[in-house]
Amino acid sequence: MKIGLIGCGNIGQFLLESLNMDSFLDGSRIDAVFVRDKKGYEDLANRCRTRLYDDFQAFLQSDTDLIIEAATVQSVKQYAPDILRHGKDILIISVGALADRSFFEELKALSELNGRKIYLPSGAIGGLDVLKAAQSTGQLESVTLTTRKPASSLTDEPVESEQVLFDGPAFEAISQFPKNINVSIILSLAGIGAEKTRVKIVADPHVNKNIHAIEAKGDFGKLTLNVENNPMPKNPKTSYLAALSVLSALKNSHDWLEIG
Ligand SMILES: NC(=O)C1=CN([C@@H]2O[C@H](COP(=O)(O)OP(=O)(O)OC[C@H]3O[C@@H](n4cnc5c(N)ncnc54)[C@H](OP(=O)(O)O)[C@@H]3O)[C@@H](O)[C@H]2O)C=CC1
Ligand SMILES: O=C([O-])CC(=O)C(=O)O
């Protein structure tokens, strides 16, 4: 598989190194990387033997089958429609972009029209298999997510003791915290939607992990899941699991065996 990558920050660099240097997936590598400004990325690109682009149209024309977005919610809105129009699959990590219902419908229509697929990795959480199964013909009554992160990842204000910064529906959470709560939108997409999924965001000066507690109830029974994520050194807002989940989604996309 020939892969293109948008964004070469924390997750992007991890993917480049895993696929191009450590050969995580036989026969798959990142051949093209789109950045806003090539300055600062040349050494990494040379080391990982990939090509850098700062012209998006030229990046789209490069010989790739799948584009991975590892940049921002805004960049998904900006680039994903063109990627599908150009007949390429896309893997989106900034899934918060799909909270916007009309954008979601636009991507759905483009995906169908062009026969391309959109991959959404599980990111920094788990339990999506349970929600999808619970929803299949049964009823999910409620899904709640409580995210607790080091205060410095969520606010520039000094925080002495734990503070609830947000309590409300997922679609509002992602619009206020687009770099911190994409997990709430993948949870919404697997479950009962971004209006009904309840989110609480806690800034905690005493933790050094990104902790996501999920509770769901329905006629299947009850789910409680607590994921205590190690943050990534280069961007502590982001959990290591989120980067790993991209590798796992890539592997799933052309594995002979599908689990879950
Ligand atoms: N689904 C999930 O569970 C999770 C999702 N995420 C999301 O994943 C995304 C990536 O995370 P992470 O790697 O840690 O973030 P980083 O901030 O480390 O990297 C993002 C990179 O994107 C680049 N970028 C920003 N805008 C554009 C653009 N328009 N075009 C090209 N490049 C752009 C920036 O580079 P430059 O400034 O040089 O242009 C930056 O280096 C974020 O949106 C994050 O919120 C993170 C964790 C979990
Ligand atoms: O990495 C995490 O723990 C969660 C995160 O930033 C996000 O969902 O945007």
pLDDT tens, the chain, 260 aa long? 999 999 999 999 999 999 999 999 999 999 999 999 999 999 999 999 999 999 999 999 999 999 999 999 999 999 999 999 999 999 999 999 999 999 999 999 999 999 999 999 999 999 999 999 999 988 999 999 999 999 999 999 999 999 999 999 999 999 999 999 999 999 999 999 999 999 999 999 999 999 999 999 999 999 999 999 999 999 999 999 999 999 999 999 989 999 98
Q: Is 238 in the pocket of ligand 2 (CB under 6 A)?
A: yes
The rounded distance, in Å, linking the Cα atoms of 56 and 175 is 26
Count of residues making up the chain: 260
Residue 225 CA from chain centroid, whole number: 19
Q: 128-233 is classed in which CATH architecture?
A: 2-Layer Sandwich (3.30)
Q: What is the bridge-based pairing of β-strands 163-169 and 140-150?
A: unpaired
Domain with CATH 3.30.360.10 in the chain: 128-233
b/e map of 197-212 (b: 16 or more CB within 10 Å)? bbbbbbbbeebebbbb
Domain with CATH 3.40.50.720 in the chain: 2-120
Q: What is the bridge-based pairing of β-strands 2-6 and 66-69?
A: parallel
Q: Which CATH number fits domain 2-120: 3.40.640.10, 3.40.50.1010, 3.90.1200.10, 3.40.50.720?
A: 3.40.50.720
The rounded distance, in Å, linking the Cα atoms of 80 and 135 is 28
Predicted-complex ipTM score: 0.99
Q: What was the pLDDT predicted at 117?
A: 98
Q: Probe ligand 2: pick from 122, 165, 183, max atoms within 8 Å of CB?
A: 183
Q: What was the pLDDT predicted at 80?
A: 98
DSSP string, 122-152: -TT---HHHHHHHHHSS-EEEEEEEEEEEHH
Ligand 1 pocket (Cβ < 6 Å) reads 6-12, 34-36, 70-73, 75, 93-95, 123-124, 179, 182-183, 186, 235, 238, 242
Q: What was the pLDDT predicted at 254?
A: 85
CB 109 within 8 A of CB 115: no
Q: What was the pLDDT predicted at 138?
A: 84
The rounded distance, in Å, linking the Cα atoms of 7 and 235 is 14
Hey, CA dihedral for 11, 127, 154, 71, is it positive or negative? positive
Place of tokens 């509002």: 172
Enter the tokens of residue 243.
């980067």
Q: Would you call 206 a catalytic residue per the annotation? A: no
H helix intervals, 115-239: 128-136, 151-154, 170-176, 183-190
Q: What was the pLDDT predicted at 7?
A: 98
CB 245 within 8 A of CB 182: no
